[in-house]
Amino acid sequence: MSQRGLEALLRPRTIAVIGASIKTGRAGNIMMRNLLGGGFSGSILPVTPAYSAVCGVMSWSDIKALPCAPDLAIICTHADRNIALLNALGEKGCKSCIVLSSPPEQHDALRASAARWQIRLLGPNSLGLLAPWQGLNASFSPVPIYPGRLAFISQSAAVSNIILDWAQQREMGFSWFIALGDTLDIDIGELLDFLARDSKTSAILLHLEHLSDARRFVSAARSASRNKPILVIKSGRSARAQKLLSAPTGLDVAWNAAIQRAGLLRVRDTHELFSAVETLSHMRPLRSEKLIIISNGAAPAALALDELEMRGGRLAVLTDEIREQLKSLLPAGVHIDNPLDLRDDATSEHFAQTLDILLNNTVTDAILFIHAPSATAPGAETAHRLIQKLKLHAAGRYATLLTNWCGEHSSLEARRQFSDAGIPTYRTPEGAVTAFMHIVEYRRNQKQLRETPAQPAGLTTNAREAHQCIRSALADSVTQLDTYQAQSILQAYGLNILPALAAEDSTQAIHLAERLGYPIALKLRSADISHKSDVMGVMLALRTPEDVKQAANAIIERAKLNRPQAAIQGLLVQKMADRAGALELRIVVEHDPVFGPLIMLGEDGADWHPNEQAAAALPPLNMNLARYLVIQALKSRRIRERRDTKPLDISGLSQVLVQVSHLIIDCPQIYRLDIHPLLASGNTFTLLDISLELRSFDGDGDARLAVRPYPQQLEESVILKNETRCLFRPILPEDEPQLRRFIGRVTKEDLYYRYFSEINEFNHEDLANMTQIDYDREMAFVAVQSDAGTDIILGVTRAISDPDNHDAEFAVLVRSDLKGIGLGRRLLEKLIAYSRAQGTRRLNGITMPHNQGMIALARKLGFQVEIALEDGVVNLSLPLT
């Protein structure tokens, strides 16, 4: 199945309607009327043996009789005919099909038939699709939509109909409107790849219920969101709601983590969804995360301020100059502050002049105008004054302006004016602030996507020792490991664990306590009792041998009495940790059924409800991603610093999370890890209790991850012609500073050959895009030499494949003072071998006729060289299969 096959579905030239009908209300009649009413310019082919024509269009008796193979077929008949009809379409050569309805028991057969005939399948149980720029309404919806720049994809026909109705009332336009249905074939990831390249689409809105391929979704979303804003609403946050939707049960925090990691923005409900559509339609780049609130009433301003503070937003501080100018403009009783209450007797002129003062002072903060119905400032007139002021002022194009015209009937005209002028407008103060915080959060997620990450200094790992411990445990059929059994595995990854010793009985416990030194803690060891507190299986601050004896015997007796079937392994003996001023945190790694391993951070406690108590992130983590996770936990109060605790060392906790991430990536047999608690005391982090669940694992360990980690196995030591040894390895996000220095040592002529234009300087965003790559769809190898612990980049080669991995564009660049030592050739050979192993069919590149060195190298390596003198380029192509 390929992206090329999507073209037939989304840009068809011929459409066959199977089961076309003249009977009003029938699916085949609705579809015919919608196709004809939409203004589709291609051929429409009704297929029915019952009528010679449908809706004035000549019909065909069956699929075999069609004059050509349709690009798209829409099956509108009874579901029990789906398989036979799909096979007939395949024999005819049809390229894509929309299945409007199908029972679940038919899905496997539909999927198999579509795969057999290479037919791209939308649905089943899909509302269909609308493409207004093509005049295409291949859907059940009777509601016409306008051409626009927003693409909408939904897995729910009901939600699709709600959005269509809402959009029609507001005359909101769409580039695409696609209802996926059950996504047996075409999924979200493929459509994101398509829409990322679509010139008519400037923003994307997704409504999701489930995912069939989380890895593809995250990869496609990360790629698309670098160029276009993408908003997501996810139905089914709770387990009961997921059951209602028949969606795979997954943690809601995992969805949050995936959406943030991909640089998208999540909205929480349909109210926010409508607000988000308004925001996306008119979104301007945000230059500041602070807000100025201006209102003609204190109460609406207070509602906005409450919402802002609840969502963690910040007010802007007015400068002294702005304060003085506002003071000279406004009546004496107006208190100059932010929020600024113009009072209920404010005029339209007061609104317009206030905006003028802010624009004159080139304010970068976002501005929210709130208008309550007023006789002295009529809604439509005030809106017109603000629109004109923004339009005519030189700084107007840079301002971020949001508006809330309260009320309904009296505000309709004003809100229409704002929408026509491209200024976002909302019905309530809370809705306007919610929209502002959407933009803030989106900006933060995008910033996270482009920041230069870092790895912690001095990170030590001993993967061999950890793997040996895991193999030994699995060989002995031990899958539930406690602190004593798991400590060696975690210590191998540099994690600091309070030493734990195992005792079989009270006598041995006393002996170990004497060895460790009092006071000590005593804990039950039983793989069958996950919560030791349920049987009072933990005793703390034991100070004498007698204390230890009594506590040990009591713990074992209680466990046997309360859980007679449980296997008791004995007791765990630990020296008491100093908890004074320490935060007790919890780190849990679980295998989410949708997104795979998930790292969660919160506070330690008896109960653990991740959706309410944890912030989460997808591995792999580096220091920046881990820092975001810690800050998110603090801001959402999943972690609460208290007066009696030492300040949390965010960097130190980030390093612990990175170490946990490395452990999880390297050891796919770890199914669940629970660190409870992690004692955070200043810059010291100590693991007190550990629960580790192992499961046998065969195959590619990276395949279980939603984000492909750094492919260390591709590292290679290379000796060049001049006997220089260097390391060829995949590029890392941390390489950005070194890449900048590398480019500084490439001549302008060589850069011109590489980029076909004069390059003065690459900015941070350019370099971030080069170094923060998705290894699933792009590869860049760097040749590096180490100098005082820093990797010096000598050369770079990269290939970016299309979504189907048919063709990949390649490039190679070597430091200008290092030519003639075989570096470029060795890099390109490594890229060719990698691309071939990945199943890429062809490598393509472009160079200039004057770049004779590259042309000669390409010929030596078997590339087809085509000189296009009229275009001033040389095309290079290498078949790999």
For the segment 266-287, what is each residue's pLDDT rounded down to a tens digit? 888 777 777 777 776 677 778 8
Residue 155 Cα distances to 136, 137, 177, 194, angstroms:
20, 18, 11, 17
CB distance 251 to 592 below 8 Å: yes
Q: How far apart are CA 659 and CA 673, in angstroms?
A: 13
CATH of 284-450, one of 3.40.50.150, 3.60.15.10, 3.40.50.261, 3.90.190.20: 3.40.50.261
The proportion of the chain whose per-residue pLDDT surpasses 70, expressed as a percent, equals 96
Q: What is the pLDDT of residue 537?
A: 85
| Of 445-459, 519-533, 572-586, 775-789, minimum mean pLDDT range | 445-459
Q: How far apart are CA 794 and CA 785, in angstroms?
A: 7
Q: How far apart are CA 25 and CA 159, in angstroms?
A: 21
Q: What is the pLDDT of residue 452?
A: 62
Helix (H, G, I), strand (E, B) or coil at 626: helix
Whether 561 has a pLDDT exceeding 70, the answer reads yes
Residue 677 Cα distances to 378, 528, 577, 610, 690, angstroms:
60, 20, 11, 15, 8
- State the Cα angle at 302 between 300 and 303, rounded to 5°: 65
Query: H/E element holding 342?
Result: none
Please, which pLDDT band fits residue 766 given cuts at 50, 70 and 90?
confident
- Residue at token pair 């059994």: 485
Q: What is the pLDDT of residue 280?
A: 67
Q: Among 421, 349, 352, which residue's Cα sits nearest to residue 389?
A: 352
Token pair of 260, please? Answer: 């943030």
CB distance 163 to 154 below 8 Å: yes
The proportion of the chain whose per-residue pLDDT surpasses 90, expressed as a percent, equals 65
311, burial (CB in 10 Å: exposed 0-12, middle 13-18, buried 19+): middle
Token pair of 701, please? Answer: 């360990």
Q: Is the peptide bond before 12 cis (omega within 30 degrees of 0)?
A: no
- Identical fold for domains 284-450 and 712-879, yes or no, is no
CA 476 to chain CA mean position, Å: 40
CATH of 3-185+203-210+230-251, one of 3.90.550.10, 3.40.640.10, 3.20.20.10, 3.40.50.720: 3.40.50.720
Helix (H, G, I), strand (E, B) or coil at 377: coil
Residue 41 Cα distances to 5, 132, 133, 173, 539, angstroms:
20, 12, 11, 20, 79
- Residue at token pair 């099956």: 75
Q: Is the dihedral of CA 812, 816, 820, 821 positive or negative?
A: negative
CB distance 595 to 576 below 8 Å: no
Token pair of 268, please? Answer: 């929480």
Q: What is the pLDDT of residue 1?
A: 43
Q: How far apart are CA 586 and CA 604, in angstroms?
A: 5
Q: How many residues does the chain have?
A: 881
Q: How far apart are CA 21 and CA 639, in angstroms?
A: 62
- State the Cα angle at 52 between 46 and 54, rounded to 5°: 45
For the segment 618-676, what is each residue's pLDDT rounded down to a tens digit? 999 988 899 999 999 998 889 988 887 889 999 999 999 999 999 999 999 999 999 99
Please, which pLDDT band fits residue 454 given cuts at 50, 70 and 90?
low
Token pair of 122, please? Answer: 């939308």
Q: Is the peptide bond before 677 cis (omega within 30 degrees of 0)?
A: yes
Q: How far apart are CA 404 and CA 423, in angstroms?
A: 11
CA 851 to chain CA mean position, Å: 40
| CATH number for the segment(s) 712-879 | 3.40.630.30
Q: Is the dihedral of CA 468, 693, 620, 660 positive or negative?
A: negative
Q: Among 373, 170, 385, which residue's Cα sits nearest to residue 282?
A: 170
Please, which pLDDT band fits residue 451 given cuts at 50, 70 and 90?
low
Q: How far apart are CA 357 and CA 326, in angstroms?
A: 7
Amino acid symbol at 272:
E
Q: How far apart are CA 236 and CA 214, in angstroms?
A: 16
For the segment 457-513, what is each residue's pLDDT rounded down to a tens digit? 667 788 899 999 999 999 999 999 999 999 999 999 999 999 999 999 999 999 999
Q: Is the dihedral of CA 283, 288, 291, 292 positive or negative?
A: negative
* Domain range summary for the chain, segments of one domain joined by +: 3-185+203-210+230-251, 284-450, 712-879
Mean pLDDT of 540-569: 90
Strand partners, 678: 585, 687
End-to-end distance of the chain based on CA atoms, in angstroms? 18
Please write down the HEC assignment for all residues of 5-57. Answer: HHHHHHCCCEEEEECCCCCCCCHHHHHHHHHHHHCCCCEEEEECCCCCEECCE
For the segment 822-841, what is each residue's pLDDT rounded down to a tens digit? 999 999 999 999 999 999 99
The model's pTM is: 0.87
Whole-number mean pLDDT of the chain? 90
For the segment 164-191, what is each residue's pLDDT rounded down to a tens digit? 888 887 778 899 999 998 889 998 999 9
